[in-house]
Structure 1
Amino acid sequence: MMPTNAIKRLQTYHERHQQGLEPVEQAIALRQWLTDYADSFKSVMECDLKTCPKIVYDFSADGDVVIGGTSDPARQTEIMWQQLADANAPVGVGRYREDRVCYQSDQFKNDGEARSQHLGIDLFAPAYTPVFAPLDGVVHSFADNNLHLDYGPTIILQHDPAPNIRFFTLYGHLSRQSLDNLYKGKEVKAGDLLCQFGDFPINGDWIPHLHFQIIFDMLGREGDYFGAAKPSEWDIWTSICPDPNLILQMPENVAASRKGG
């Protein structure tokens, strides 16, 4: 249940959007800070995401590789790993803003509309791939969200790099070992080993990958967060959770078109 003050903030974001304003007032300054300091961010993977080969996937319709739903993660992992090997690519990418078919089940619906538009970027690589902190921060919260098609083990970092600049990064679908020895407020430095990719079914029963997301307002949540938004509310949620490529800095087009395809 969202705290009362968070509900009020969310309502304010809706009202500002209706007035033609940026829903989250501080989002403009936060995005600008991320843009200004982009060159200082460390890669979240051992491969340099700015230069390494990749396959950018399209999960807006069923294709050769299917994620979630009733798909078999073991079989789909086998297919993806072969595609990546054939392309000599160490990582596959799932796009930001993508309207995904796997989020159309009742689990993702509220008031009849599915939360189907992806708020993060997915990085696909083998289970236990190490993940590094892209910039300094502290552990805000962590949890094992162990429902089917949920995040599985999850870590959220808080970043306060400058006066009046605060944002959060979320790392989902991790291994259970990733939560060992964590505590709220634990300091993390840029480039530190933070966690590792999880395997199915521990990671929510997905192809092994990292869900990476930037968050400007936690809305009172801890250890968990909305990973997708209703398409009808996209303009509000993109102000709360901007393009993660502001940090990842991949040169490929890793954001879906405005309609999600």
Structure 2
Amino acid sequence: MTTTIFDDASARFQSYLDRYAKGQEPLGDATRLRQWIIDHQADFASIMDCDLKSCAKIVYDFSRNGDVVIGGISDPARQTEIMWQQLADANAPVGIGRYREDRICYQSDQFKNDGEARSQHLGIDLFAPAGTPVYVPLDGVVHSFNDNNLHLDYGPTIILEHNPEPGVTFYTLYGHLSRESLDGLYVGQPVEKDHLLCTFGDFPINGDWIPHLHFQIIFDMLGKKGDYFGAAKPSEWDIWESICPNANLILQMPENVTANRSGQ
């Protein structure tokens, strides 16, 4: 989750800031692309074996420290044990980390630029055991991949590019994977809807987190390959929300998996 934006992408990001200052949608195509996804929700395959539209879940709040703590100096082994017990008690196959959540674990210097932390979550987290399979939601190609092997980074990561019809292009990101998930991949490799893409990684390979998938929709890669911003500065949230819309547009979970406007 590095912060470098290349020069041409910096100019694009500035154009988004300028559009927002004029009261416009920051990314001009965002409204059209979001609507395309909404109109084709029935066409997306489930990315997990469990049916996220109907299965039991625990939706976690990581905007404050509770029974389960992620990141920081927490012990992922102990926190995984606590979460798995909670999920077993609830007969829930998956735990959820919310979109737009302003997370306490992103307040360290690692996530700060100019004094402000990139603390507001741009994806949705799906917590389940290491080795859990992940499936392709829609035909596409491999845009890029990388092992982002810094502490509290993504670990192994895959980004897919989807071009379902002329004029419609967007990307999906899969972070915190097993290292084996990258085996045999190549840029431009076709991937088919509903086919196995990767598996959840375990700590410490996955960036040293409780095993989970970070799933994110992206409308502009901003020159990035194999890595992307997984959280935004709260002061820039409206810009990033236009670039990375709510991943639940694809996952379609009925629970409230989105934090309120303040990120809480």
What is the TM-score normalised by the length of structure 1?
Answer: 1.00
The answer on 1:204 being equivalent to 2:202 is: no
> Could you list the runs of 5+ residues in structure 2 that have no partner in the other structure?
none
The residue that corresponds to 1:97 in the other structure is 100
The number of aligned residues is 261
Q: Shift of residue 185 of structure 1?
A: 0.4
- SS of the residue corresponding to residue 80 of structure 1 reads helix
The one-character-per-residue Cα deviations of 1:12-54 (angstroms, maximum 9, x if unpaired) are 0000000000000000100000000001101110001001000
* Aligned residues: CA RMSD: 0.4
SS of the residue corresponding to residue 51 of structure 2 reads coil
What does residue range 11-22 of structure 1 map to in structure 2 within 5 Å?
Answer: 11-22=14-25
Post-superposition shift, 1:163?
1.1
Structure 2 residue aligned with 1:255: 258
Looking at structure 2, the residues matched to 162 and 82 of structure 1 have their Cα atoms a distance apart, in angstroms, of 44
Corresponding position of 1:158: 161
**Off by >4 Å, runs of 4+ in structure 1:** none
Q: 1:100-249 to 2 correspondence within 5 Å?
A: 100-249=103-252
Question: Which ranges of structure 1 fall in alignment gaps of 5 or more residues?
Answer: none
Distance (whole Å) between structure 1 residues aligned to residue 261 and residue 41 of structure 2 = 24
- For 1:19 and 1:77, the matched residues in 2 are separated by 45
Counterpart of 1:161, as a letter, is P
User: How many angstroms apart in 2 are the aligned matches of 1:40 and 1:3?
Assistant: 34
2:228 alignment partner, SS class: coil
- How far apart, CA to CA, are the structure 2 residues paired with 1:138 and 1:11? 29
CA distance in structure 1 between the partners assigned to 2:254 and 2:136 by the alignment: 20
Structure 2 residue matching 1:153: 3-state secondary structure? strand
| 1:83 maps to amino acid | Q
Say yes or no: does 1:24 pair with 2:3. no
Identify the match of residue 4 of structure 1 among 4, 7, 14: 7
- Secondary structure (helix, strand or coil) at the match of 1:169 reads strand
Report the CA distance between 1:197 and its aligned residue.
0.1
Which whole-Å CA distance do the structure 2 matches of 1:13 and 1:207 have between them? 34
Taking the aligned partners of 2:5 and 2:207, their CA distance within structure 1 comes to 23
Q: Distance in 2 between matches of 1:174 and 1:194?
A: 10
Q: Give a deviation string over 1:96-154, Cα, whole Å, max 9, x none.
A: 00000000000000000000000000000000100001111000000000000000000
In the other structure, the counterpart of 2:68 is: 65
1:2 shift after superposition: 2.2
Shift of 1:3: 2.0
Is the partner of 1:160 in helix, strand or coil? Answer: strand
> 1:240 corresponds to which letter in structure 2?
I
Give 1:226 deviation, angstroms. 0.2
Paired amino acid for 2:17 = H
Q: 1:48 aligns with which of 32, 48, 51?
A: 51
TM-score (normalizing by structure 2): 0.98
What percentage of aligned pairs have identical amino acids? 75
- Secondary structure, in 3 states, of the residue corresponding to 1:84? helix
CA distance in 2, matches of 1:249, 1:109: 32
Once residues 34 and 215 of structure 1 are traced to their aligned partners in structure 2, the CA distance between those partners, rounded to angstroms, is 12
Equivalent residue, structure 2, for 1:38: 41
SS in 1 for 2:125: strand
